[in-house]
Amino acid sequence: SQEAPTESVSRRLILLRHARSSWEQRSLKDHDRPLSKSGKADAVKLSQKLERLGWIPELILSSDAERSKETLRIMQEQVRAFVKAEVHFISSFYSIAAMDGQTAEHLQRMICKYSTNQILTVMCMGHNKGWEEAASMFSGASIELKTCNAALLEATGRSWEEAFSMAGYGGWRLQGIVKPD
């Protein structure tokens, strides 16, 4: 059901930049580039680190670019808990990341659209510069996300809408940046 919990609960947001992509096939469109060998290895390591930390998403919203989809596939192969998450591929995540100042608001809208109040951990997978910008806006800190880096953010609210409303920009607590190495 969509009923909100009666008390504020911790809402956890993982903003993950896709793993390193390959430039070997120059004829491919940017959207269609696969992961490089090192990118695949990084996706394995990152998924294991998120599992050890207990940051397992119940909802995953991902860019539909090949490198994002492949990052997720590898994470699901490594950590079975990632398979249990509801997954939506959102084509606008690819283009919005290139637009100044638009990503944070767009992520907020998509999270509120696809999540329920019972979902406590959401992972959004996408691209720079938008993902760095959104993580920085939500947390109020200057955040750098290299490939396959994840910003772990936390706020409280009875619903995702309330968490975004109460934390606003700058009010999400940065719990850390997870890196493959």
Is position 3 within any domain? no
Binding-site residue positions:
67
Binding-site residue positions for substrate:
67
Is position 143 within any domain? yes
**Residuewise pLDDT in 10s, the chain (181 residues):** 455 556 889 999 999 999 888 766 677 676 776 788 999 999 999 999 999 999 999 999 999 999 999 999 999 999 999 999 999 999 999 888 778 889 999 999 999 999 999 999 999 999 989 999 999 999 999 999 999 999 999 999 999 999 999 999 999 999 999 999 9
Structural domain for 41, as ranges: 9-178
> Is the pTM for the entire model greater than 0.85?
yes
Is position 1 within any domain? no
- Neighbour-count burial of 177, counting CB atoms closer than 10 A to its CB (0-12 exposed, 13-18 middle, 19+ buried): middle
> C-alpha angle 77/73/115, rounded to 5°?
105
CATH of the domain at 101: 3.40.50.1240
If one counts the domains in the chain, the total is 1
